[in-house]
Every structure is written in structure tokens, then in C-alpha cells.
Amino acid sequence: MSEATSALHEDSRSFAPSPEFTAQANAGDLSIYDKAAADPEAFWAGYAEQLDWFQKWTKVLDWDAPHAKWFVDGKLNVSYNCVDRHAKGERADKVAMIFEGEPGDVRKITYAELYDEVNRLANALKSLGVTKGDRVSIYLPMIPELPISLLACTRIGAIHSVVFGGFSVESLRDRVNDCGAKLIITSDGGWRRGNVVALKKTADEAAVDCPNVEKMVVVKRIGAEKAPVTMEAGRDFWYDELLAAAEPVCEPEWMDSEDPLFVLYTSGSTGKPKGIQHTTGGYLTGVYTTSKLIFDLKDNDIFWCTADVGWVTGHSYIVYGPLANGATMVVYEGSPDTPARDRFWRVIEKHKVTVFYTAPTAIRTFMKWGDALPNSCDLSTIRLMGTVGEPINPEAWLWYNDVIGKGKAPICDTWWQTETGHIMIAPLPGLVATKPGSATRPFPGITADVVNDHGDPVPVGTKGYLVVNKPWPGMLRTLWQDDARYKQVYWSRFPGRYLTGDGAVKDADGYFWLMGRIDDIMLVAGHNISTMELESALVEHPAVAEAAVIGKAHDVKGQSPVAFVIVREGYHADDALATELKKFVGKKLGPVCRPDDILFTADLPKTRSGKIMRRLLRDIAEGRVLGDTTTLADPNIVASLKDKYTSDEG
């Protein structure tokens, strides 16, 4: 990457924490950063000690780059830490999970009830032949049985691999086969926009080509009338029947700190999904600590992370982080616009959500839908908000702050990856002043940097590669059965340092500004321009709801920026607007940044976790055959965009 500066942060406002928040912050005071930097291993070990270990570790870290072992020789069980220690103590009758189904059904599960169900399912899995080290694929909607299945696997030492409940036969089959699962947990279906998603049917079709799969456990979510299923004798078992027959107590397996906990495939926005492998002790310590300090979880909080458990945010901040803290978390099954576009705000109002964690893509959608919907709901319980998944453009940040947080809830923009296991860069609420669009500074104990092609730190305001300098507890240990790819992808570019694949800039205050994927940075007439900067500029225009920018190959300039734009309700997508937008961007960021083409669209191709798939937009703009589309939320969008692009061009 040749050096180029970024204008993004220059006129940024800063939001100081309120003294009231500071006074009660779990993170204490700013000295936490210096203490952690002076001795990161002691910092992490201090939090690991707050977990329950059957046998204590002999050494905190064993680092033989690029392989780390955390809490060496320590023995623990994740379900024990997330369930037993609360269920057997003062939190037995505390609600662990508030589930709301899309049709409006609500189920509240206490820690004592969670204990019972996790234990029974663990015994049921054992009775079906699952033992320590076996892989179990989980293909479920967002229902209580999803977190429960994860916990039951951890109880017996089975390695879970969750596959998002909206994925196709092909995506499911590939993931099941890649990890060699012998059992699939699925359901007759789930609700999505008032329709039944027939998961068992998809699982049946996938299983035809999954030679390792011996058994299937089926949760009854919908019922035979709307979701008839075929149960294959000897292979398929009803979840509720298994639980009713199971022994109520299953002793937790003593897992080594470095035993694998789960394999999860990345969202595939940059290429073929990678099987990220996480282990037990370090991961749990990382998600426990970050949940406690960043989401500031207190016993009376109601925490709602809107992600799906099908991706890492759901693993770390719906299931393991909050439960390890004994928190109450919300699980919502359906879409944000069913029955109406105020559904999320209604969920917050009804369950009195205090900490809310969502994604920029959702925030931009809510902005597009207008302020009246959130304004008509009582959101006064919200005291803290988070965002994750993509860089958040300042415009969306400010809207989130004003309309949802009413200016009183600090915003934690959290940068991390499936690979990192837990949040890596984010403000500690109450301690760190925030700036719209910046994830602020690395979490205590994490050393990140922005470097040039030679691995040297770049000057303030200059774009470079985001790297992590030292191992951290929740880091991936390898890629499932592909250590060579692990070394090559993450550790070969700058030996000893983890390559995140993202570009970033540091400002004069040491704040990190994420610039998106390195692959998404364009080289236009010799200038490095991040697609994210152009997108942020476009979204500042009142007519633009959302934008995706890519660099299209260009004979003279190398690459030329092309923008795909979704127009806000009430605006007209026509040539005049396209011209105006080109000028608008040129004026804001300089003439080289002016997009050459603007294509109006109703939708953008996104992964199931809501990330824009720029590589597919590049394929479209450059007239190539589309790459892997299996992780797309709606494959029809790319097909129609391709048609539209070709007809506009020709």
C-alpha cells in the first residue's frame, strides 16, 4: 500500500463520557490501560481467575509464533462457567434468556431452568454417541434451543459448528463436511417475515451428501401443520422426546484450556469461508472480560445483541460473554420489519433493554425508515449502545446517538473479527471519549498498530495495514485442518504479527479509524482511496440511504470509483441526482474521488451478517462471472444488479 492520508477524521467531534457513567463503569479508570500494557499476561490472568477452573493453569502464555497456548494445563468447562455457577448460586431464579419469537411468543428461562435443559440435552447427545472431540453442526433459527445446543456441546466437550439458519443446502453441506460433523441439530422450521423457513428439509437434502452424519436432532418450533417433516427412523430424533427421556444431570467434562471449543466459518465477504478454530480457556476469558468491561454488564441489565448466533458476534456476545457474566440476554427470532418496521424498538420497550448492540447496516436501514418509529417507542431504558460488523459512517453514528440513545448512551464502536474471538478495538464506556466513526483505542492488553508495506508504523493520518503485535487470549488457534493456510493468510505478511486484512488510520490522539478491507482500498490515479471514505461521504447527502463503492479496472487511472446507491424514501433516483452526487463527493474529498459511475439500486448484495459484498460488485462492474455467492442473504439481488448494470452500460 503506497502511503496516502485520510481526511475522514479531521473535522471530527469528540464526545466526553458523562460523569455519572464514569462513576459506575466496570472498567474503573484509565489506569487500566497502563496496567494492562505493562503486563498483559497478568491482566488477562486476573480476569481468568474470575472464572471457575477445575484445575489452575501452570503458565499464562506459551507463544511459539504463530501458535499460542493460553492458560497452559488449566482445566475448565464452558457450560459450567456459563450456567452452573449461576444456577447453583444466587442467580438460580434470575432470567438468563428472554426469548421473543417473531409471532410474538415470549419465553423466559432462568439460570436454574437453563441448567436443567443444558444437562438433559448433553445427556441426550451422549446417548446418540457424541463424545469429546466429535463435531456437531447446529442449524437452527434464533430460538432458545440454539444457545442451549452450544452449551450442551461444550458440556461434553463436543466441538460445535453453527451454520446460519438461512443458509442453503449447498452452504450447509460444505460446512458439515468440512468439519466432519456426525450429528446435526436442526428444527422443523423458524419464522422469518411471517413465513416458515423449512430447516429440516434443507438439512435432509444436505445430509444426502454428508457421509459422516449419523444422527439428527430436531426441535419442534413450528408444528406439523405448517412445517411437516419426514423423520428417518434410526437417524432422526425429536428434541423434546430426547430431553424428556434424558437423565437430568450430566457431569461437565474437564476440558483442557487448549481443547477446541468450536469451528465457525467466516462470512466469506472476501472469498471462500475459512473454518476458524477457537479453543476453551483463552476464548472464554476474552469474551468474559470484554463483555464485562465494554458492555459494562451489571446484574440488572437486559442485554440485547441483535446478531444471529450463526456468526461470531452471536457466539461471543449472545451466548458465552453475557452468560459467563451471569447476565440476562435477549434472543429475538425474526426480522426487524415484522409485523412492522418498529419491531426492534417494540422489543426494547417491552423487555426494557438497557444495553443494545447492533450493526451499522441495521442502523442505516432504520435511518432510512425514519425517526417517527423509534420516537413512538419508549427507549429510555437504553444506557449503552454498541455497533459491529463494518465501519460505521459518522452520519449513522450521530443518528444512533441522537435518535436511539437520546444523546445519553455512550456508543461503543467495536472492531473485531471471527478470527479474533472477541472485541479488540473499542472505547471503554465511561473512560474513553468517543468520536463518530472511530473505534477509538485497542482494548487493554491488546497491542495493535497501523503499518506500511515494510511493517513500519505509518505517520498520523496515513493509511496502512492494521496488525496486532502480540497474541491475545481469544485468538484463533488455526484454521480447521489447514494450518498451512492459517500461517499463510495471517502470519506470512509480517512474521510474528497478526495481519487483520483491514486498513486503518491513526489520528493525532492515537484513535484508530477503520478503512475497510485492504482488498477494498482503491488505487485511483496513484492515490489510495478507501471505498469506505467515499461511502461515508455519499451517505452524508440527504438523498442517500446507503452506498457501496468499488474500484473498477480503468485503462488510464488504474481503477475508477463506481458507486451503487440506495436512495432515501421521498427522493428521486435520476440522472440529475447522479450528477449532483458526483459533484458532492468531488467537493468533499477532492476531484480524484469523484465516482465515474453511479448506479441506483433498491438493494445491495449483503452477507447474512449484513456486510456488503464488494467483491461481487466488482465482479459485476468488471463483467466477470460472479464468485462464491453461497453466503449471500439474497442471491437475487446480485442477479438483478448484474442485469441492470449490463443494460445501463450497453
Q: Establish if 490 lies at the interface with ligand ATP (CB under 6 A).
A: no
Out of 418, 440, 478, 530, which residue is the one contacting ligand ATP (CB under 6 A)?
Answer: 418
| Segment interacting with ligand ATP, rule: CB under 6 A, options 58-66, 266-274, 349-357, 578-586 | 266-274
Helix (H, G, I), strand (E, B) or coil at 418: coil
Q: Establish if 269 lies at the interface with ligand ATP (CB under 6 A).
A: yes
Give whole-number Cα distances, 584 to 290, 375, 517, 561, in Å: 40, 30, 24, 14
In the complex, the smallest distance separating the C-beta of residue 75 from ligand ATP, rounded to whole angstroms, is 29
For residue 271, how many other CB atoms are within 10 A of its CB? 12
Q: Establish if 619 lies at the interface with ligand ATP (CB under 6 A).
A: no
Classify residue 449 by burial, with Cβ atoms within 10 Å: 0-12, 13-18, 19+.
buried
- Residue 132 · residue 253 · CB < 8 Å: yes
Q: Closer to ligand ATP by CB, 269 or 279: give it.
A: 269
Q: Closer to ligand ATP by CB, 439 or 479: give it.
A: 439
- Residue 538 · residue 544 · CB < 8 Å: yes
Q: Establish if 390 lies at the interface with ligand ATP (CB under 6 A).
A: yes
Q: Establish if 110 lies at the interface with ligand ATP (CB under 6 A).
A: no
Out of 609, 610, 638, 641, which residue is the one contacting ligand ATP (CB under 6 A)?
Answer: 609
3-state SS, one letter per residue, for 311-363? CHHHHHHHHHHHHHCCCEEEEECCCCCCCCCCHHHHHHHHHCCCEEEECHHHH
Strands, sheet with 275-279, edge to edge from the N-terminal-most edge strand: 236-238, 215-219, 183-187, 135-138, 159-162, 260-265, 275-279, 478-479
In the complex, the smallest distance separating the C-beta of residue 605 from ligand ATP, rounded to whole angstroms, is 13
| Segment interacting with ligand ATP, rule: CB under 6 A, options 91-99, 212-220, 263-271, 489-497 | 263-271
In the complex, the smallest distance separating the C-beta of residue 426 from ligand ATP, rounded to whole angstroms, is 8
Buried b (16+ CB within 10 A) or exposed e, 621-648: beeeebeebbbbbeeebbeebbebbeee
Question: CA angle, 466 as apex, 31 and 362 as ends, to 5°?
Answer: 85
In the complex, the smallest distance separating the C-beta of residue 77 from ligand ATP, rounded to whole angstroms, is 26
| Segment interacting with ligand ATP, rule: CB under 6 A, options 191-199, 384-392, 442-450, 467-475 | 384-392
Binding mask 272-301 for ligand ATP (x = CB under 6 A): -xx---------------------------
Cell 502470519 -> residue: 491
Q: Which of 497, 476, 496, 614 is nearest to 547 (CA)?
A: 614
Helix (H, G, I), strand (E, B) or coil at 433: coil
Out of 263, 309, 388, 521, which residue is the one contacting ligand ATP (CB under 6 A)?
Answer: 388
| Segment interacting with ligand ATP, rule: CB under 6 A, options 255-263, 291-299, 363-371, 495-503 | 495-503
Sequence length of the chain is 650
Q: Closer to ligand ATP by CB, 316 or 354: give it.
A: 316
- Residue 393 · residue 535 · CB < 8 Å: yes
| Segment interacting with ligand ATP, rule: CB under 6 A, options 47-55, 338-346, 415-423, 481-489 | 415-423
In the complex, the smallest distance separating the C-beta of residue 86 from ligand ATP, rounded to whole angstroms, is 29
Q: Which of 262, 260, 321 is nearest to 289 (CA)?
A: 321
Q: Closer to ligand ATP by CB, 197 or 359: give it.
A: 359
Out of 417, 531, 559, 629, which residue is the one contacting ligand ATP (CB under 6 A)?
Answer: 417
In the complex, the smallest distance separating the C-beta of residue 271 from ligand ATP, rounded to whole angstroms, is 6
Helix (H, G, I), strand (E, B) or coil at 539: helix
In the complex, the smallest distance separating the C-beta of residue 9 from ligand ATP, rounded to whole angstroms, is 14
Out of 144, 389, 444, 605, which residue is the one contacting ligand ATP (CB under 6 A)?
Answer: 389
Strands (E), 223-336: 236-238, 255-256, 260-265, 275-279, 302-305, 328-332
Site for ligand ATP in 114-173 (CB under 6 A): none
Site for ligand ATP in 499-538 (CB under 6 A): 500-502, 514, 517
In the complex, the smallest distance separating the C-beta of residue 464 from ligand ATP, rounded to whole angstroms, is 15
Q: Establish if 391 lies at the interface with ligand ATP (CB under 6 A).
A: yes
Give whole-number Cα distances, 247 to 124, 126, 266, 457, in Å: 8, 11, 36, 58
Out of 344, 357, 415, 443, which residue is the one contacting ligand ATP (CB under 6 A)?
Answer: 415
Amino acid symbol at 124: A
Q: Closer to ligand ATP by CB, 500 or 536: give it.
A: 500
Q: Closer to ligand ATP by CB, 135 or 611: give it.
A: 611
**Omega before 339 cis (within 30°)?**
yes
| Segment interacting with ligand ATP, rule: CB under 6 A, options 207-215, 221-229, 408-416, 448-456 | 408-416
Cell 467434562 -> residue: 253
Helix runs in 50-168, H state only: 78-79, 85-87, 111-127, 145-156
Q: Closer to ligand ATP by CB, 101 or 405: give it.
A: 405
| Segment interacting with ligand ATP, rule: CB under 6 A, options 44-52, 262-270, 596-604, 620-628 | 262-270
Out of 311, 317, 366, 472, which residue is the one contacting ligand ATP (CB under 6 A)?
Answer: 311
Binding mask 434-473 for ligand ATP (x = CB under 6 A): -----x----------------------------------
Q: Establish if 267 lies at the interface with ligand ATP (CB under 6 A).
A: yes
Helices 531-540 and 575-589: crossing angle, nearest 10°? 120
In the complex, the smallest distance separating the C-beta of residue 499 from ligand ATP, rounded to whole angstroms, is 11
Phi, psi of 179 (to 5 degrees): -95, -5
Q: Establish if 36 lies at the interface with ligand ATP (CB under 6 A).
A: no
Element (H, E) at 239: helix 239-245
Amino acid symbol at 188: D
Binding mask 624-643 for ligand ATP (x = CB under 6 A): --------------------
- Residue 529 · residue 521 · CB < 8 Å: yes
CA quadruple 604, 605, 609, 611: dihedral sign:
negative
Q: Closer to ligand ATP by CB, 117 or 535: give it.
A: 535
Give whole-number Cα distances, 268 to 13, 164, 219, 391, 425, in Å: 34, 13, 28, 17, 22
Q: Closer to ligand ATP by CB, 87 or 617: give it.
A: 617
Q: Closer to ligand ATP by CB, 62 or 628: give it.
A: 628
Chain contacts with ligand ATP (rule: CB under 6 A):
266-270, 273-274, 311-312, 388-391, 413-415, 417-418, 439, 500-502, 514, 517, 609, 611
